[in-house]
Each structure stands twice: as C-alpha cells, then as structure tokens.
Amino acid sequence: MKLLFAVCLFLLPAFAQNQSTSERDAPSQPLLKAKIGSMANYQSPTTIDRLKWFTVTTAGPLSLLGVGPISSGWGTMLDKPKEYGTQWEGFGQRYGMRLTGLSTGNAMEASLGALWGEDPRYFPSPRRGFGPRSKYVIRSAFLAPRRDGQWHPAYARFVGNVGSSFLSNTWRAPSENGTGSALIRVVWGVLGDMAGNAYAEFWPDVRKKVFHH
C-alpha cells in the first residue's frame, strides 16, 4: 500500500505541470465544505452498483494482483507478524489475512451505507489542477455523497474501517491482535483509502501520458 501511494505521488507532479494556467490558478473550495452539486446527473447507487463496488474493490485486479502481493511481500520481508515466518506459506497467510479484513470492511461499508444512502464509489474531481484534485482525493476519504447529492461524513466507511480492524483481532496472530495494532490498522485503512482515491483520480491521466492511449 505504501509503495502504491509512493508511485502515485512520484508520477503526479510530471502530469500536473501540463495543466493549463487557468486550471492551476482556479480558486479551490475549502477541503471539507465543497459540495457535490457540480457533479452532473448524480444518481444514487443501486444494489447492483454496491455489489459491483464490493467485488471490484475487494477482488479486482488492483487488489488481488497489485496491492495484495505488495502488502503481503512487504510483511514477509519484515517478518510481521513473526508467527507466519518468511517462507511462501507465510506470504500466503498474510495475503489471506489482508483479503479477509478487506472484504469484511468493504461489506460493512456497502451494506450499512445502503441504510442511509451513503455512496461508497469514488467519483473523479470536477476541478482540474494538481492542488484542487489532491485536496479532493484527501477529502473523499472522509466524506461521501448521499441521496441528496451532497457530501456528508462517510459514517459507513468509518464503521467498516474501525469495525474490521478490531473484529479481525479475533483471528489474527497474537503479536498483532491487540488494541494498539487495531488502531494502527485503522490509520493504514484511511491512508489506503487515500491511495486508492489517488490511483482512481490520476492514473487514467498518467496512463494516457505514458502509454499514449
């Protein structure tokens, strides 16, 4: 996860330099007060939309083939938790543990959010320029649109992150099933949301610049 975020941040400045002067200098709204009203034709997610979001964020290529192996490989290299060891078996245990926690948190967010209309999906920023888009990426980790088309605190996301971090203590190795470890996972969960948002926001532009399509 840290590597993914670092790669995104490394690639973004080069792209940002190509933004027009008017876009870069456009006034930005306060980080936690900008409204979603500028997003044209907003529609609340259907049950199918929520199921699709859960499937892609949990078992999509980026998760299974990107973040999963990187996170599990990092833990194996550092031998954390130590109970799993540094062999392929330990890598597999870390991979499965990450996937279990991720699926639990995503299921909580998708299902609980449906009760009050919280949208778990990420929408590209309506503003241009590296600064405004970066603020939007960060803000979107804490806020989410609802049926009224406006941003509200992402309570379902908070519950999913905190709930899965503490619930997973029941099946984690002894060295990482305490309160302190759970709180650290909560922080990593927030940073993970930001990294995922940054990828969704900037990668399409970077891909066009690098691969010319």
pTM, rounded to two decimals: 0.78
In the chain the first and final C-alpha atoms are separated, in Å, by 26
In DSSP terms, 143 is beta-bridged to: 153
Written as one string, the DSSP assignment of 27-67 is PPPPTTT--GGGSTT-----HHHHHHHHHHHHHSHIIIIII
Q: What is the pLDDT of residues 185-206, one digit of tens each?
A: 999 999 999 999 999 999 999 9
Tokens 């939309």 belong to 49
- 135 Cβ neighbours under 8 A, 6+ residues apart: 28, 31
Nearest Cα residue to 157 out of 144, 139, 170: 144
The amino acid that residue 174 corresponds to is P
Q: Where are the alpha helices (DSSP H) in the chain?
A: 2-16, 21-24, 47-59, 61, 68-78, 88-116, 130-139, 155-167, 179-211
Tokens 């969704």 belong to 200
Cα–Cα dist 33/36, whole Å = 10
Q: What is the pLDDT of residues 119-129, one digit of tens each?
A: 999 999 988 99
Whether the ω angle into residue 81 lies within 30 degrees of 0, i.e. cis, is: yes
Cα–Cα dist 129/127, whole Å = 7
Half-sphere CA count of 165, side-chain side, radius 13 A: 19
Give the rounded distance of the alpha carbon of 143 from its chain centre.
Answer: 12
Nearest Cα residue to 54 out of 98, 104, 110, 1: 110
Mean pLDDT of the chain, nearest integer:
83
pLDDT one digit per residue (tens) for the chain, 213 residues: 333 333 333 333 333 333 333 333 333 334 444 444 445 678 899 999 999 999 999 999 999 999 999 999 999 999 999 999 999 999 999 999 999 999 999 999 999 999 999 999 999 998 899 999 999 999 999 999 998 888 999 999 999 999 999 999 999 999 999 999 999 999 999 999 999 999 999 999 998 888 876
The amino acid that residue 172 corresponds to is R
Nearest Cα residue to 208 out of 15, 5, 10, 74: 15
Cα–Cα dist 167/182, whole Å = 9
On the 0-12 / 13-18 / 19+ scale of CB atoms within 10 A, 41 is exposed
Q: Helix 155-167 crosses helix 88-116 at what angle (to 10 degrees)?
A: 150
